[in-house]
Structures are given as structure tokens and as C-alpha cells.
Structure 1
């Protein structure tokens, strides 16, 4: 699917890991009256750093005077101002589609990235992808709102590690057993460390099992030879 609007392009840029400030907008000299972005290929889905805009598609009253063809003075200043204004309008576009919960999630992300939760959390958060960061921030918010950290921890772990299972042993001791259905890796360790630092109740301690499940009597999938972890 192609890119059609400023907000569409900014969202795609963020998904691709491209900083929005690296995109430079300019007014197109040739454009379609039916599209906001003036792209070389109509159905282009990738993001270029130099983007031409049809400013009259939605913002005719704002740019009519600035881009009057009879006014040719200060081209560099007008170009820089145009870029700033389009970035500003793009941010307004993005915010208009957000509800209160999404604002709160942004605040949590900002606090984590600022090191409010500690430098270790900040470093591990930076190792996660954009969607993973949103999941973690939303989980922190949910914990604050509901107070149920244990439920949120289990749910978040399943989202970040599909196919994984968490067992709670609360009869003999407050213990959580994590079976992570993937090979142990640096990124995996960073994500699980992030979850435990942010969501693990203080009274619990944990055991991690990567890609090898501990044996459970009666559960055939966990009793395979050479695939059983010791508990």
C-alpha cells in the first residue's frame, strides 16, 4: 500500500527506524491535485529523506501567500520555514489519532528513555524494537492502573516471547518458572531482564528455561529425551 499523507509517511519512517528530523520536506513544483505527497512512484511504500509535498491539498490557506509564484525573495528562508511547518503539521496529524491511553503510554516511554526507572532499564529498553517498546510501556501503565503486576508480567512475556509459558509456584515458595520457547540470545536476555525489573513483584524469585522445558509428568511434550531441563 502506498503513502498518501504526511502522517502516513511519518508513521512508516518510525517503523523503519528513521528519525523524523532526518526527513526534509519541500514544496513540489509539479504535483497531482489529488494527492498530498508528490512521490516519483504513486504506490511507493518506502520512505525517502527528501520528500516533496503538495501543500495546497489540505493547507491552501496557510501556504497560499508563502508560495506565491510571483514572490521570489528569500528562497532559503522560505524553504526552511516550509520544512518546519510541515513537520509541525505532521505531528498534529499524529496526535489527532491518539486517545488518552496512548498519551499515557508515550509518557511512560519518555520516562523509561530518560532513565527514571534506572540506567539498566533504559539500556535494555533501547535494545527492543518499536512495537516491543510500546508493549512494555503499555504493560507498565496497566500495572499502575490495575495493581496486578503478576498478571501483567505473564501477559507481556507471552506477547514478547510467543509460545512461551510461565508457571507460578506459590504453595511452597513464591517462585515463577519461565519457559522461553527460543534459544537464549543477547536480545532475549535484555527483554526478559527488562520485564523482571519493571513488572516482577518483589516477593517473587524466578528461574529461566531457554528452549528446553523442564519435565512435567503426564505432559508428553515436556518429557522428550535430550530435551528436558533440570528443575
Structure 2
């Protein structure tokens, strides 16, 4: 990690609360690096981060930490921390396109309860990247209306061993094979996916650990491991 935006991304992926991260001006630093790590190969986000403020922001900080100025040190360090947090947010925003903003808006709506209390509660079961996948597919749903395709895409990305079958000859029915044991958390995740992407006209049959039998498909025809359809 060399830039503050790199550290912020790492912190968010690790679930670190950015309010617990404090930026301080580095006392000893390299002129070729923005972050001053004791260990150059550090990958963990520490609570106190030393920053070389002159690497990219010389015009902002050149007069703030004059070596001859020993007054109001605490105030200047607090101001430094606030400004670096603000600059880090700007760094992140500059790398976002219009679509990524829309994805953030959808996630904010889900977390604030616009989609309902069940969605807000169940969304917390997913990791950050999984939440972005869900929000991205919601945006695609608004654009295309391809609910069944996006249901399948979301299902496979959340449950890698899953398969979706459509039975539309006699009725609108979807058969969902999840490919793992039925547990409370997995069931809650599946309920969120179905609530967001399942078209109203479809009925569903859900198979967790055992697949229903399909002729000539060997892995579905395991003795004592076949679910009934």
C-alpha cells in the first residue's frame, strides 16, 4: 500500500471502521512514498497511519507543519487527520463512474430500509463485494427487466455450486439446487435473492444438499442421495 486511497479500500474490505483510523504526519518518511510503513510489505490496516503530506499535497500542507512552529500542535494534528480523511474520500470518488454511483445509491437505500426491514437485515449477512454484486444486478434489472437471468447470475455467484432449472411446459416453475447443507444463514441469503429477483408468476422448489435425479447425469443419480421432485 502506497496511497491513502489504497489503504481506505483495504480498510473497507476488511470491515475496518474508518472512524477508528487516525492519520498523522510522518516524522521520518521517504520522498517517494505517501504512506510511511514500518514494514514496507504491510497488508494490515493499522489504527494510526503515518502520511507523508508533501508527496501529493504539498500546496495544502506546506505551511501547516513548519519545523519552527511549535504552537497548537494538537489542533494542527486534528486538522491534518480531518483533511486527509476528506482527501481520501475524494480519491475514491475520482475513480468512480456514473454506474458505480448508482450502485452506491442502491446499497444506501437497502441499508436505510427503503427496500424493507427484511432486506436490510439480511443484507448484513453478505460481504461487501457480495453486496455490490447484488446492487449491480439490481441496477441491471432496472435496465433490462431480465429477472430470471439475473436471479441465476446472483444465485451462482453467492452459491458457486448452485444450478437453476426452469420448467415452463405446464406451469411457470423454477427448480433451485443450492449444492450445500441447509443452514439458517444460507437460507436467509437465499430468501433475500428470491425476494429481489424472483418474478411473481414463478413457483419455486428448492433443493439443498441432494439433487433431484436426472437420467444420464451421473452426479444426480447417486444412491441414497437423490431428492424427489
Instruction: Name the TM-score, length of structure 1 as normaliser.
Output: 0.97
1:222 aligns with 2:216: no
- The answer to whether the 8 A contact 1:215-1:230 is kept is yes
2:60 alignment counterpart: 62
Q: CA deviation at 1:187?
A: 2.4
> What RMSD in Å do the two structures reach over aligned CA positions?
0.9
- Which blocks of at least 5 consecutive residues in structure 1 are unaligned? none
Cα distance, 1:193 vs. partner?
Answer: 0.8
Q: CA deviation at 1:133?
A: 0.5
Alpha-carbon contact 1:175-1:204 (below 8 Å) kept = yes
The answer to whether the Cα contact below 8 Å between 1:125 and 1:133 also exists between their aligned partners in 2 is yes
Residues 28-86 of structure 1: CA deviation (Å, up to 9, x unaligned): 11111110001111111111011010000000010011111122221111111110100
Check the 8 A contact 1:128/1:187 in 2, yes or no.
Answer: no
**1:170 and 2:171 aligned:** no
State the match for 1:141 in structure 2. 139
1:195 maps to 193
- Mapped pair 1:51 → 2:32: no
Secondary structure at the residue paired with 1:134? helix
Shift of 1:185: 1.9
Aligned-partner Cα distance in 2 for 1:211–1:45: 37
Q: Deviations over 1:97-152 (max 9, x none)?
A: 11111111101100000111100011010111111101111111110011111111
Distance 2:128 2:57 in 1: 31
**Aligned residue-pair number:** 229
2:93 equivalent in structure 1? 95
CA distance in 1, matches of 2:151, 2:76: 51
- Is there any run of 5+ residues in structure 2 with no aligned partner, and where? none
* Matched residue SS, 2:175: strand
> Aligned-pair distance for 1:189?
1.1
The offset of 1:163, in angstroms, is 2.2
